[in-house]
């Protein structure tokens, strides 16, 4: 039976593309989670940054569906930490707003344990490089809604689409 975990690391297009390249990942689906109402649209999620008086609290996220016999949860979570800047609060680079926040939403206790342990390990590495404190939201997944069809595989369909690199350059080791 496939496992699922949800990651938020800024714009979901690049996050989806990154995880789809990993052997053992069955699918990566762009979508929304963490908000205070059901079935959000892209326009509604963008209201987070356009109208601070009407915070919906949804974030762009990617549900990663994977075969844990082929790729470990630890590998995926370490990839997540290295994929973006987990020290930037409510955004990645010029993408600002809580809809671009860093987050891991787990679906079981084993994933929670891995998320917390790797966070602590990555924080030590960041500190050694003089970088700030991790501000990633870590919590169980409540609900996830797939984004509109035009967001799925966006960078495969639009190879010149906007997708900046926000990595810190800090790596766990050569294994990720």
H or E stretch at 63: strand 59-66
In a domain, 123, yes or no: yes
Q: Tokens at residue 168, please?
A: 């810190």
pTM above 0.75, yes or no: yes
In a domain, 174, yes or no: no
Contact of 102 with 8, CB cutoff 8 Å = yes
Task: Determine the pLDDT at residue 97.
Answer: 86
> What 3-state class would DSSP assign to 4?
strand
Task: Determine the pLDDT at residue 126.
Answer: 98
In a domain, 166, yes or no: no
Between the two ends of the chain, the Cα-to-Cα distance in Å is 24
In a domain, 38, yes or no: yes
Count of the separate structural domains present in the chain: 1
In a domain, 165, yes or no: no
Q: What are phi and psi of 59, to 5 degrees?
A: -125, 150
In a domain, 144, yes or no: yes
Q: Tokens at residue 41, please?
A: 């649209």
Q: How crowded is residue 17: how many other Cβ atoms within 10 Å of its Cβ? A: 18
Contacts of 155 by beta carbon, 8 Å cutoff, 6+ apart: 13, 14, 16, 17, 161, 163
In a domain, 69, yes or no: yes
11 has catalytic annotation: yes
Task: Determine the pLDDT at residue 168.
Answer: 94
Q: What tens-digit pLDDT sequence spans the chain (176 residues)? A: 899 999 999 999 999 999 999 999 999 999 999 988 899 999 888 876 655 555 668 999 999 999 999 999 999 999 999 999 999 999 998 888 889 999 999 999 999 999 999 999 999 999 999 999 999 999 999 999 999 999 999 999 998 888 878 899 999 986 55
Domain range for 107: 3-157
CATH number of the domain to which 104 belongs: 3.30.1060.10
In the set 6, 11, 61, 64, the catalytic residue is: 11
In a domain, 23, yes or no: yes
């Amino acid at each position: 039976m496939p496992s699922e975990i949800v990651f938020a690391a800024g714009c979901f297009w690049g996050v989806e593309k990154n995880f789809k390249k990993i052997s053992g990942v069955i699918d990566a689906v762009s979508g929304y989670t963490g908000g205070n109402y059901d079935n959000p649209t892209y326009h509604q999620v963008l209201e987070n940054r356009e109208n601070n008086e009407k915070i919906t609290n949804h974030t762009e996220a990617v549900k990663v569906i994977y075969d844990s016999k082929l790729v470990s949860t630890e590998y995926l979570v370490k990839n997540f930490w290295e994929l973006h800047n987990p020290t930037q609060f409510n955004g990645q680079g010029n993408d600002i707003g809580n809809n671009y926040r860093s987050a891991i939403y787990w679906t079981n206790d084993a994933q929670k344990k891995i998320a917390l342990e790797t966070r602590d390990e990555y924080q030590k590495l960041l500190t050694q490089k003089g970088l700030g404190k991790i501000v990633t939201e870590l919590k169980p997944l409540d609900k996830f809604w797939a984004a509109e069809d035009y967001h799925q595989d966006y960078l495969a369909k639009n190879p010149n689409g906007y997708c900046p690199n926000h990595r810190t350059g800090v790596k766990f080791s050569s294994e990720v």
